[in-house]
Chains A and B, each alone.
Chain A
Amino acid sequence: MPVSRAPAGSGRDLLGVLHPSARALPGPQPVTPPPVATGGRLSRTALGLLGTAALLLSVAASVRIGSADVGYGELGRALGGRLGLAVEPLPPLLDSLIWDLRLPRVLLAALVGAALAVCGAVLQAVTRNALAEPYLLGVSSGASTGAVVVVVLGIGAGSLGVTGGAFTGALLSFGLLLILLRRGGLDSLRIVLTGVIVGEFFAAVTALILMASGDADTTRAITHWLLGSMASARWDVVVIGAVTTVVGLAVTWACAGALDGFAFGADTAASLGVGVRATRATLLVVTALMTSVAVASVGAIGFVGLIVPHGVRFLVGPTHRVLLPFTALAGAVFLVWADALARIAFTPREVPVGVFTALLGVPLFLLILRKRGEL
């Protein structure tokens, strides 16, 4: 295996060619981050409005969808009652269905979708690898292990909580990944293979913990959760998710210039005046935090971070200042609909949403590859 590769050389293999920094592609994007043209800005404004409208509409539409059909009248009564309007209150159980379960669930799907998609975009730039995302790099597995240690073994249940455990696990897996990648540079294939190894290692630890201490029922419950399920969404989780997603978005967006630099390699970033080590560390910690909050609340949902940034890059180009907000919007819309599908596709059974993101994600990914002329 080559110890390191010149940025130009890595653009020639399949993985490299997918990368935003791949220059020789017949893609619609200009080669360097361009000064945004007036026409482009207008269409981006329009696209931005369109995206926001799509998100709001998706949330409004999918709130109705589920095992129980919720009408807008009932929705209005549930919301109106809480806003102090004079509406006829719903029966308590129906009110609880809408207010305690359905609304937080849809909002959490939007928040987690946005967070995971942004994590994918950031990791792809920082590691200069088109296939980077929390799931593929083993970060989700690390977060799952941390969460399972807390839930099943009860270690740190009081002090850390599930989110804390997931965060520790995510950081550990990231640390392990970086230690393994310490020598030899950030070659695309190396990163993916190392990420897979780290992921497998943590998956094995999780399996070991479940085998050693879980009874069949706990194992079943955890397995369902590990596949990614929104069923446990409540308002407290939504608040945590909202705070992390907003903070994470703000931090990564503030680093947008640095991310553009990273996409062209650490040397380019350094020459652009980016403090490479500190910025990279900040971005990795922020993505680890966002991933672990997502995993702790809904389990490991894969492919969102892979699919969404690629699709969005195709639409708005690789400049992170634009790419990140659109990625967040698209990720939110994507997961809101994936979860709505998970709720009703096999009623009365509910399918873990992670299964659907993979089922939807893989063909979409192939389509993107094909559009870019790589398949």
Chain B
Amino acid sequence: MPQRARAGLVFALALVAAGCADSGGQDRSGSNGAVTVASCGRDLSFDRAPERAVALDQGATEMLLELGLEDRMVGTAHLVTDIAPRYREAYEQVPVLSPDILTGEQLREATPDVTVASFAALYSRDRAGTREELAELGLPSYVSAVDCPEDNEAGLTPFDRLFVDYENLGRIFGVEDRAAELIAEQRQVVEEAEETRETVTDPPTVVWLYSVFNGLPYVAGNGGIPSDISQRLGVVNAFDDVDEQWPEVTWEEIAERDPDLLVIGDLSERGAPGDSAEEKLTMLRDHPVVSRLDAVRETRIIEVPGIEMDPSVRSVNTLRLVAEGLRDLGYAG
């Protein structure tokens, strides 16, 4: 079968690429602790481990906290939802520079020695400043590998690229052991979840409903964490043909694709109308067409924290939840 052959080729290439990953652009130059790390198109050099990190968004904040770096952070910003309970205590120690997207002035005022962000878009003139500007000031700007597939080895999925982040940050901050531990932990969750795939006999189709904005549903398209999770669990993301992470679609389109089950994101802490899972459920049940779908009538619906649908250190939790959900609903053994 040509399709299977192509998948096999991609897999083989990914293996080759992964084999080279350790050497690509990441040289430890000497024994004095100086480190160079490639991050989304820029080489970041560190003479010594940073002491004054600023995280530009929630994903970056939680990643640094997971690595136990709260003592070396001088600021966070742009919190979308509540910080995960297990980081709350550490989070209290870090100054919140802005609840919103950080401005260039706020960033400079904090006098950081490194910035960490999940999205390259946070580095622009009207936000924190471009990465070029910061580099001229001697301030390295890290961007999550998840945000730049083109700068990473081909074939790496979002989860693989999260692991690249852990490794990179471990090296930058000199906490390689903790990073290796984290990678091992999360790899195990991924592998356990993948065992579920073996038991999925008739692959169900899934619509991942992230949020409802102005009455229009945002669902998961191709290339994001939900698409990655779907593949790992052997289910079919109903909107995988849309080459965009969060396309805005219509309820009619969802009805037409008639998914076997729905995954809905709970963003109740964000607090906008339609953000909580409950409100989304009500919307599904009240919609004249969607309410007649089998998945809705028989409540074949899995709830997950919406923030975990975006790539972050918390995303494995959603992988676990969906795997459990599949078992509960009888799609997997």
Contacts and interface: CB of A to CB of B under 8 A. Distances in A.
Do A and B share a complex?
yes
Among A96, A224, A232, A349, the most chain B Cβ lie within 10 Å of the Cβ of A96
Interface string B100-118: 1001111011011000000
A306 B240 CA distance: 50
A361 B138 CA distance: 42
Contacts of A216: 218, 246
Given A93-B112, A101-B108, 15 more contacts: A68-B105, A68-B109, A91-B111, A92-B137, A92-B138, A93-B111, A93-B139, A100-B104, A101-B129, A211-B248, A221-B124, A225-B126, A232-B125, A348-B99, A350-B103
A231 B109 contact: no
Given A67-B106, A215-B244, A231 B100 contact: no
B114 to A, nearest CB: 12
Nearest to B121: A217
B133 interface: yes
Contacts of B105: 66-68, 97, 101-102
A43 interface: no
Q: How large is the interface on A (under 10, 10 to 19, 20 to 34, 35 or more residues)?
A: 20 to 34
B225 to A, nearest CB: 15
B245 interface: yes
A94 B108 contact: yes
B97 interface: yes
B130 to A, nearest CB: 10
Nearest to B97: A348
A102 B103 CA distance: 12
A216 B310 CA distance: 13
A106 to B, nearest CB: 12
Contact of A348 (B98, B121, B218): B98
Contact of A221 (B99, B126, B245, B248): B126
A349 B126 contact: no
Contacts of A100: 104, 133
Given A68-B108, A93-B108, A349-B99, A231 B138 contact: no
A89 to B, nearest CB: 13
B121 A231 contact: no
A218 interface: yes
A93 B121 contact: no
A231 B99 contact: no
A96 B100 contact: no
B139 A229 contact: no
A232 to B, nearest CB: 4
B111 A231 contact: no
Given A93-B139, A100-B133, A349 B100 contact: yes
A234 to B, nearest CB: 7
A67 B137 CA distance: 20
A67 B108 CA distance: 11
A255 B185 CA distance: 74
A296 B103 CA distance: 20
B119 interface: yes
Interface in A84-104: 91-94, 96-97, 100-102
Interface string B209-232: 000000000100000000000000
10 contacts: A67-B109, A92-B137, A93-B108, A94-B111, A97-B108, A101-B104, A215-B245, A221-B126, A232-B125, A349-B99
Among A91, A97, A102, A218, the most chain B Cβ lie within 10 Å of the Cβ of A97
A292 B296 CA distance: 51
Q: How large is the interface on B (under 10, 10 to 19, 20 to 34, 35 or more residues)?
A: 20 to 34
A67 B103 contact: yes
Contacts of A232: 124-126
A93 B245 contact: no
A215 B244 CA distance: 8
B178 interface: no
Nearest to B136: A96
Interface in B232-285: 244-246, 248
Contacts of A224: 126
B137 A93 contact: yes
Interface in A333-375: 348-350
Nearest to A93: B108
B12 to A, nearest CB: 32
Given A100-B133, A348-B100, A231 B108 contact: no
A218 B41 CA distance: 20
B127 interface: yes
Contacts of B97: 348
Nearest to A97: B108
Interface in A39-67: 66-67
Given A225-B126, A232-B125, A348-B97, A96 B246 contact: no
Contacts of A229: 126
A211 B106 CA distance: 31
Closest 7 CB pairs of A and B: A232-B125, A232-B126, A231-B126, A68-B109, A348-B98, A97-B108, A93-B108
A81 to B, nearest CB: 15
Nearest to B122: A217
B101 to A, nearest CB: 9
A68 B109 CA distance: 6
Nearest to A219: B248
Contacts of A215: 244-246
A92 B112 CA distance: 11
Contacts of B244: 215
B208 to A, nearest CB: 15
Nearest to B98: A348
A236 to B, nearest CB: 10
A218 B119 CA distance: 12
Contacts of B126: 221, 224-225, 229, 231-232
B166 to A, nearest CB: 24
A63 to B, nearest CB: 12
Contacts of B103: 67, 231, 350
Nearest to B213: A216
Contact of B119 (A66, A97, A217): A217
Contacts of B111: 91, 93-94
